[in-house]
Structure 1
Amino acid sequence: MRESPHFLLSPKKLGFSTREAIFVATPIQSSILHQIDDVVRSHRAEMDPAEERRHSKKQKDHCNMLGFVADSQYGVPRRCACGGRIIDEVRGKEDYDSLPGKRFFTCVNYEDDGLHYRHPWVVGVQEENKRLSKRLHEAEQVMKGVWKLNKRIEDLEVSTGYNPV
């Protein structure tokens, strides 16, 4: 009888039952996670504490910057968060595009990393229109208030007999 190579040994020759051999040979989800966790832990164990602090500060700054950029995308942008100028971009005709010619306010240095602006033109104009309408309403309220205050001052001057001439 011919001897099988070592990787084809039967489980019984190795001292396992068939069921145990299948369990040992089959990777399960938790063992993979443990292996990944062991690699991460060993890498962290090698890191210098000062380097780890710098790394965590960089990560925190990056996450904060993503939030700042997302929060600042309102209305018609004047400048990108990176300092780049904003250009009007018109999307060309593409096979899969359902809205050919869609316009965007886009940073000159645009990369799809979340740190640059690429704002749809329609949304930006609508938001800017809403903002300007609100400012107009506030200005009208101030003008009405000034008129009411002037009228009240005149009434007080008449009632007290004050003549500022």
Structure 2
Amino acid sequence: MDPAEERREMKRQKEYYNMVGYVCDSEYGIPTRCPCGSTIIDEEEIERLTKRVEEAEQVIKLVVNLNKQIETLEVQILTVKVADLEKVCFE
């Protein structure tokens, strides 16, 4: 048999065995693991992860705003303390 023909036949056999394996796997429903062992990400999971990212972005924005408010309050408190000290010292 010609070596090139032998390789083509081996490829056809491999494709056939893969197809048979896919059919066998399909009897168990949608797979949750890739043949390499990693998990398969479905569209619902992507939507859930996108929602979590959006929520995290909102929390980050809130934290930035809270930090600004804290800085403003600290300045106001220090201003009041300075005013009180000036009253005590200069009166």
State the TM bucket, normalised to the shorter chain: 0.3 to 0.5
Higher fraction of strand: 1
Higher fraction of helix: 2
TM-score normalised by length of structure 1:
0.27
TM-score normalised by length of structure 2:
0.45
